[in-house]
Amino acid sequence: MRMWMVDPKLLCRKHLLGEHVETHMFVGTMRKGYRLDGYLKKGLVEPMKIKERHDELVKEMKRRGYKHKSEIEKNPETNINNKVNIRENLLELIKRCSICKSNIGEII
């Protein structure tokens, strides 16, 4: 699981929908009281921004004409203010996905 935190317009369908599902997975994990230590250490999640990120992803999904039926009512309560390295994530997306690489182009 990870939050890419890049502009959702840059994500291919697979990565856009994947990150959306993973926001829901993070919410479930946090609500069950499970720890996120590994994700935090690797800089893969920003717990205080899960709902905000979910809503950004949904906006892009709707712009592309995708259906959405799974709202996140509110961000899980947390005081963990972790940051994801967006530049590193852009580089990782370029390595992983030719479509995202094409979308990202020359911005980095």
Q: What is the pLDDT of residues 7-41, one digit of tens each?
A: 999 999 999 999 999 999 999 999 999 999 999 99
Instruction: Record the pTM.
Output: 0.93
Residues in the chain: 108
The pLDDT tens digits of the residues spanning 32-72 come to 999 999 999 999 999 999 999 999 999 999 999 999 999 99
Q: Can you give the pLDDT at residue 75?
A: 86
Residue 50 identity (one-letter amino acid): I
- The band of 108, judged by pLDDT with boundaries at 50, 70 and 90, is low
Distances from the Cα of 82 to the Cα of 30, 34, 73, angstroms: 14, 16, 21
Report, as an integer, the average pLDDT of 78-101: 94
